[in-house]
Amino acid sequence: MAKRIHVINGPNLNMLGSREAEIYGTVTLKQIADACAEHAKRLGLELEFHQTNSEGKLVDLIQAARGVADGVVLNAGAYTHTSVAVRDAIVAAGVPVVEVHLSNIFAREEFRHVSHISPVAAGLICGFGATGYILAINALAARPAN
Protein backbone atom coordinates (compact mmCIF):
# COMPACT_ATOMS: atom_id res chain seq x y z
CA MET A 1 0.00 0.00 0.00
CA ALA A 2 1.24 3.53 -0.79
CA LYS A 3 2.66 5.47 2.13
CA ARG A 4 0.52 8.39 3.19
CA ILE A 5 2.05 11.72 4.18
CA HIS A 6 0.29 14.74 5.63
CA VAL A 7 1.94 18.14 5.20
CA ILE A 8 0.66 20.54 7.86
CA ASN A 9 1.38 24.27 7.94
CA GLY A 10 0.70 26.67 10.77
CA PRO A 11 0.06 30.39 11.13
CA ASN A 12 0.98 33.03 8.56
CA LEU A 13 2.31 30.51 6.07
CA ASN A 14 -0.70 31.33 3.87
CA MET A 15 1.03 34.70 3.41
CA LEU A 16 4.16 33.23 1.80
CA GLY A 17 5.10 35.02 -1.36
CA SER A 18 4.29 38.44 0.01
CA ARG A 19 5.36 38.02 3.64
CA GLU A 20 8.93 39.07 4.59
CA ALA A 21 10.29 38.00 1.21
CA GLU A 22 13.85 38.78 2.31
CA ILE A 23 13.53 35.92 4.84
CA TYR A 24 11.07 33.51 3.27
CA GLY A 25 11.58 34.18 -0.44
CA THR A 26 8.82 34.72 -2.98
CA VAL A 27 7.50 31.20 -3.32
CA THR A 28 3.81 30.92 -2.41
CA LEU A 29 2.22 28.20 -0.28
CA LYS A 30 0.26 27.11 -3.37
CA GLN A 31 3.55 26.61 -5.23
CA ILE A 32 4.92 24.59 -2.30
CA ALA A 33 1.73 22.50 -2.23
CA ASP A 34 2.00 21.85 -5.98
CA ALA A 35 5.70 20.90 -5.71
CA CYS A 36 4.92 18.52 -2.82
CA ALA A 37 2.05 16.92 -4.75
CA GLU A 38 4.21 16.46 -7.84
CA HIS A 39 7.08 15.00 -5.82
CA ALA A 40 4.77 12.64 -3.92
CA LYS A 41 3.33 11.42 -7.20
CA ARG A 42 6.83 10.71 -8.53
CA LEU A 43 7.61 8.67 -5.40
CA GLY A 44 4.25 6.87 -5.43
CA LEU A 45 3.10 8.43 -2.15
CA GLU A 46 -0.31 9.72 -1.14
CA LEU A 47 -0.18 13.26 0.15
CA GLU A 48 -2.51 15.70 1.89
CA PHE A 49 -1.57 19.37 2.30
CA HIS A 50 -3.09 21.64 4.98
CA GLN A 51 -2.66 25.11 6.43
CA THR A 52 -4.31 26.78 9.40
CA ASN A 53 -3.77 29.97 11.36
CA SER A 54 -5.35 28.57 14.49
CA GLU A 55 -3.52 26.64 17.21
CA GLY A 56 -6.54 24.45 17.99
CA LYS A 57 -6.99 23.53 14.32
CA LEU A 58 -3.28 22.69 14.14
CA VAL A 59 -3.76 20.31 17.08
CA ASP A 60 -6.82 18.80 15.32
CA LEU A 61 -4.84 18.26 12.10
CA ILE A 62 -1.97 16.55 13.95
CA GLN A 63 -4.39 14.35 15.91
CA ALA A 64 -6.16 13.42 12.67
CA ALA A 65 -2.93 11.90 11.34
CA ARG A 66 -3.09 9.17 14.00
CA GLY A 67 -3.62 5.76 12.44
CA VAL A 68 -4.07 7.41 9.03
CA ALA A 69 -0.73 8.91 7.97
CA ASP A 70 2.65 7.17 7.91
CA GLY A 71 4.37 10.49 8.48
CA VAL A 72 3.77 14.20 8.94
CA VAL A 73 5.76 17.13 7.57
CA LEU A 74 5.08 19.98 10.00
CA ASN A 75 5.89 23.65 9.71
CA ALA A 76 4.14 24.94 12.82
CA GLY A 77 5.31 28.52 12.20
CA ALA A 78 5.45 30.62 15.36
CA TYR A 79 3.60 27.93 17.39
CA THR A 80 6.87 25.98 17.17
CA HIS A 81 8.29 28.32 19.76
CA THR A 82 5.26 28.65 22.02
CA SER A 83 2.92 25.69 21.89
CA VAL A 84 3.04 22.84 24.38
CA ALA A 85 -0.35 21.79 22.93
CA VAL A 86 1.22 21.20 19.51
CA ARG A 87 4.04 19.20 21.09
CA ASP A 88 1.55 17.09 23.07
CA ALA A 89 -0.51 16.48 19.92
CA ILE A 90 2.59 15.10 18.16
CA VAL A 91 3.22 12.67 21.01
CA ALA A 92 -0.46 11.70 21.16
CA ALA A 93 -0.65 11.12 17.42
CA GLY A 94 2.21 8.64 17.52
CA VAL A 95 3.14 9.42 13.91
CA PRO A 96 6.72 10.35 12.88
CA VAL A 97 6.95 14.09 12.36
CA VAL A 98 9.62 15.92 10.37
CA GLU A 99 9.79 19.53 11.58
CA VAL A 100 10.39 21.96 8.72
CA HIS A 101 11.19 25.67 8.63
CA LEU A 102 11.94 27.66 5.52
CA SER A 103 14.37 29.86 7.40
CA ASN A 104 17.26 28.80 9.62
CA ILE A 105 15.58 29.48 12.97
CA PHE A 106 18.96 29.22 14.77
CA ALA A 107 20.40 32.11 12.74
CA ARG A 108 17.50 34.40 13.72
CA GLU A 109 16.17 36.01 16.92
CA GLU A 110 16.86 34.10 20.13
CA PHE A 111 13.18 33.37 20.79
CA ARG A 112 13.19 31.30 17.59
CA HIS A 113 16.05 29.10 18.84
CA VAL A 114 13.63 27.24 21.11
CA SER A 115 11.41 24.61 19.52
CA HIS A 116 8.88 22.65 21.56
CA ILE A 117 8.59 20.31 18.59
CA SER A 118 12.20 19.23 17.99
CA PRO A 119 12.46 17.00 21.09
CA VAL A 120 9.48 14.91 19.93
CA ALA A 121 10.15 15.06 16.17
CA ALA A 122 11.85 12.36 14.14
CA GLY A 123 14.05 15.08 12.65
CA LEU A 124 14.40 18.73 11.75
CA ILE A 125 15.09 20.47 8.43
CA CYS A 126 15.52 24.22 8.38
CA GLY A 127 17.16 26.91 6.31
CA PHE A 128 16.61 25.50 2.83
CA GLY A 129 13.45 27.35 1.91
CA ALA A 130 10.74 25.41 0.09
CA THR A 131 13.22 22.62 -0.70
CA GLY A 132 12.94 21.65 2.97
CA TYR A 133 9.46 20.23 2.32
CA ILE A 134 10.82 18.00 -0.46
CA LEU A 135 13.71 16.87 1.76
CA ALA A 136 11.24 16.05 4.53
CA ILE A 137 9.08 14.00 2.18
CA ASN A 138 12.20 12.11 1.06
CA ALA A 139 13.15 11.48 4.70
CA LEU A 140 9.71 10.05 5.51
CA ALA A 141 9.62 8.00 2.31
CA ALA A 142 12.98 6.44 3.23
CA ARG A 143 11.88 5.48 6.75
CA PRO A 144 11.03 1.83 7.30
CA ALA A 145 7.28 1.27 7.68
CA ASN A 146 6.01 1.23 11.29
Sign of CA dihedral 86, 94, 57, 47: positive
| 39 has catalytic annotation | no
∠ at Cα 40 (61, 140), nearest 5°? 65
Binding span for ligand DQA by CB under 6 A among 37-45, 77-85, 87-95, 133-141: 77-85
Among 39, 57, 112, 143, binds ligand DQA (CB under 6 A): 112
| Residue 79 or 93 having the CB closest to ligand DQA | 79
| Residue 98 touches ligand DQA, criterion: CB under 6 A | no
| Residue 35 or 78 having the CB closest to ligand DQA | 78
Please give the distance of CA 128 from its chain centroid, rounded to a whole number: 13
| Residue 50 touches ligand DQA, criterion: CB under 6 A | no
What DSSP string describes 63-91? HHTTTT-SEEEEE-GGGGGT-HHHHHHHH
| Residue 33 touches ligand DQA, criterion: CB under 6 A | no
Q: How far is the CB of 80 from ligand DQA (least distance, A)?
A: 6
Summarize as ranges the residues that interact with ligand DQA (CB under 6 A): 12, 75, 77-78, 80, 101-103, 105, 112
